[in-house]
Amino acid sequence: MSDQSTTDAAVASITPEALKDRIDAGEDVFLLDVRSEADFAEWRIEGAETINHPYFDLLDGIPEELQEQLPEDRRITVLCAKGGSSEMIAENLQDEGFDVDHLERGMKGWARIYEYQELETDADATVAQYRRPSSGCLAYLVASEGEAAVIDPLRAFTDEYVQDARTLGVDLTYAVDTHIHADHISGIRDLADETGATAVIPEAADARGVDYDREYETVADGDTLSVGDAEIEVVHTPGHTTGMTAYKVGNVLFTGDGLFTESVARPDLEDPEAAKDAARTLYDSLQEKVLPLPEDTVIAPAHFSDSATPNDDGTYTAELGDLVERMDALTMDEESFVEFIVDGMPPRPANYEEIIASNLGREAPDDETAFELELGPNNCAASEEAMTD
């Protein structure tokens, strides 16, 4: 860019929420991600044109080759891990005459975005989906007649669930996990402490050696939990883990990590050596417990990936019949399914061993450590690009 006189004007900033609004609105967003190449490769903000150039190469100014890649007629948003480096680089770009701002709190701020959207269902309850865009984590609130349950809550967003229950005028009676998660720190214990709700885990998940410092209940296949006028049916669907359990409310099946809208579960996070056996178990769970359900059953998973297509309201659900039509894995024979699932699985979630240990109660990270552990993509699905037509 042509030489410009420097200015002392403070560089503008943008909040993570405002940036996401721009991306969702289809605006022509341009990002300069100045994190390391490894961090950028692991996880990034999707939906915008992005260039990655590590900030340590920009400490002495903006090289000409990078300036030639940057647009002169669009605003550039610079981002880093925590927001400090991006502000410095944005100031240098501003001095060069570019229209620029930087992302407040960086990718850590992006990871704090949490969205709430109620679903249309035939359940005797209000059913809402929570979305964490940074990692693809999904959780759910089921509220009926003054009572509520949260399914697969994240510890980092305990206050969100409490506030939403208060807004709806309901008491949180249950905090429920579908299994022992490997990608995020569960919030069931914190919700139980905060609200007096009963923490609930599947009986088969408890058998992995859960050691909580507070009381909790277990549920098994065929059990029910009552939330106001709504009944939550327990459906054991092992495969992703031995304890993997779905919960059904009306025509909605909360599948946890057993079935997603773009793929099925990976089977290697509990015991990598037993991945093939777990894949066969997953095949049986899908064939015997999930696929026999009515075609209009709404599949509400615990995760979505970048390849998942959101509904018009931004939620990630799909009718079972639609998934059967477009997902190859659901119509394969067992041996083809096992081979397809086990071959070509993506990298395991970052820090998954420490996260599992925390969710079993064997480790007790503080809030900040817990948040740092779960930064990045969830990677709990099999290779979804090969799974759908």
Tell me whether residue 380 is one of the annotated catalytic residues. no
Catalytic residue (choose from 80, 249, 286, 320): 80
Q: Is the CB of residue 128 less than 8 Å from the CB of residue 141?
A: yes
> Per DSSP, what are the bridge partners of residue 221?
none
Q: Which residue is it, tokens 């007649």? A: 145
What three-state secondary structure class fits 230?
A: strand
CB atoms within 10 A of CB 354: 18
CB atoms within 10 A of CB 300: 27
CB atoms within 10 A of CB 126: 17
Q: Distance (Å, rounded) from C-alpha 49 to C-alpha 30? A: 5
Q: Which residue is it, tokens 């309850």? A: 125
Q: Is the CB of residue 257 less than 8 Å from the CB of residue 240?
A: yes
The count of C-alpha atoms lying within 13 angstroms of the C-alpha of 295, restricted to the half-sphere facing its C-beta, is 4
Residues with a known catalytic role: 80
